[in-house]
A = this chain, B = another copy of it.
């Protein structure tokens, strides 16, 4: 169960986005805010078994799609066939393991400048009216480097 602080924060987020506050939305958003495990729909369903025992998959999909539309959440593919979701409270990007699918959040000072420049350049060159971006970096996670007997020194 998410903390009171998280419950208050997420309640406010829903209201700010003029989203009708249902228990399902509130609890799912709180889960995403307090877990950065990049869950799938199934992961969320399992994790919320106690709080929302009767929730349908459709509801989770609907809810997540709504959050994505509102740019609260981003979708990620790691090659395992299902979509992963990540609360996008602060700017970051993802490193995805090409062997095991592990996703980690990454950011560094100066990243937002990089992002900004990429968007500006894109607007300039393509004429698109930019609304966002996704960056992903692929490679082997430390664990898989060991597992596969690869050294990186």
Contact = CB atoms under 8 A, between A and B. Distances in A.
A68 B142 CA distance: 23
Q: Which 10 A-B pairs have the closest CB atoms?
A: A128-B139, A130-B139, A127-B142, A122-B137, A129-B140, A133-B137, A95-B126, A132-B138, A134-B136, A131-B139
A97 B128 contact: yes
Chain A interface size band reads: 35 or more
A131 B121 CA distance: 25
A34 to B, nearest CB: 22
A135 interface: yes
Interface string A29-58: 000000000000000000000000000000
Interface string A115-153: 001110111011111111111111111100100001010
Given A77-B77, A114-B114, A114-B117, A130 B122 contact: no
